């Protein structure tokens, strides 16, 4: 049987951040991780949609023939104009939160595992 530490880390690391905490009944911690990641993903998605519309608009206004390289140039210009640092910052927050949730779920599971071992040893 898989120990709680590994189970918590896998749930928060591979399923969704905060899932391991919820399984261990730390609802506020799990909700925090989930809320931060979902909020950042929502803003990230909104920014990408804005970027897509900016690219489409620029292509429609262009009188030149559309090629893959011109689309790439337009995408880079639009991303720079929108502030690519915002997307980078959002991605960084998501990544750090995901890592923190995984490590936290592992430590919560490890604590439960140690308590279970102690209770098993203490009982005659």
Does residue 94 surpass a pLDDT of 70?
Answer: yes
Please write the tens of the pLDDT for every residue from 38-51: 999 999 888 888 88
The model's pTM: 0.76
Cα separation of 6 and 109, whole Å? Answer: 7
> What mean pLDDT do residues 77-89 have?
74
Task: Please give the distance of CA 62 from its chain centroid, rounded to a whole number.
Answer: 36
Cite the DSSP H helix spans in the chain: 4-10, 19-23, 27-61, 68-82, 84-122
């Amino acid at each position: 049987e898989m120990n709680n530490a590994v189970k918590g880390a896998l749930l928060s690391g591979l399923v969704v951040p905060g899932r391991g905490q919820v399984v261990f009944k730390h609802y506020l911690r799990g909700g925090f991780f989930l809320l931060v990641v979902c909020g950042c993903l929502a803003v990230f998605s909104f920014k990408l949609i804005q970027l897509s519309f900016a690219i489409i608009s620029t292509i429609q206004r262009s009188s030149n023939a559309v090629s893959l390289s011109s689309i790439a140039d337009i995408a880079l210009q639009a991303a720079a104009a929108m502030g690519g640092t915002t997307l980078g910052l959002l991605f960084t927050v998501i990544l750090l939160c995901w890592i923190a949730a995984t490590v936290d779920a592992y430590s919560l599971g490890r604590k439960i595992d140690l308590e279970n071992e102690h209770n098993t040893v203490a009982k005659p």
